[in-house]
Amino acid sequence: MPKLDWIGKQHVTNHAEEVPFRLLGRVPVASEGSPDSGNVIVHGDNLEALKALMPYYRERVKLVFIDPPYNTGNENWVYNDRMNAPKMKRWLGRVVGGEGEDLSRHDKWLCMMYPRLELLRSLLADDGSLWMTIDDNEAHYAKILMDEIFGRDNFIANIVW
């Protein structure tokens, strides 16, 4: 099976294990409905949030829908999509080190996605599915990356609209 290789990969392949656990806490003023409903909204960094869900939902999630940055290079959208936001730069500097300074946008995107997809895989039940919206900027990289993490035999289809 083909695998992607990119600058920084060796630093992020086990990063999901290194992310510290943070406890989820209920915020009564931001809560609605019964606390026993089983519904939860987590506000925070998505990597830390995924790790915080592990003790509760590991191998239990039936459906994941993600809409990651499309890596278009657009800085003037709802969020900075150039993969050069200060928070991303700090994270890459911490995780990838000095090597992170030379990463292309695609390398940065792959470094950002890999640990998140690993955590999502750990959350998914055996009969669960992951759906991702993505455009042509990273679709081909995303497909190979997900084949590597989830297994090529688990791919079902692309839906284009």
- Write down the residue that tokens 């042509």 correspond to: 136
Q: Quick one: tokens of 41?
A: 């909204």
Q: Quick one: tokens of 29?
A: 């003023």
103-161 pLDDT per residue, tens: 888 898 999 999 999 999 999 999 999 999 999 989 999 999 999 999 999 999 999 88
What residues form DSSP beta bridges with 66?
132
CB-based contact 143:84 (threshold 8 Å): no
33-42 pLDDT per residue, tens: 888 887 788 8
Overall average pLDDT of the 91-107 stretch? 84
Q: In this predicted structure, what is the pLDDT of residue 18?
A: 93
What residues form DSSP beta bridges with 130?
64
Mean pLDDT of the chain: 89
Does the pTM exceed 0.85? yes
What residues form DSSP beta bridges with 124?
61
Task: Calculate the alpha carbon distances from 70 to 45, 66, 102, 123, 138 in Å.
Answer: 18, 11, 20, 23, 7
Q: Which amino acid is at 107?
A: D
Residues 6+ apart with CB under 8 A from 91: 112
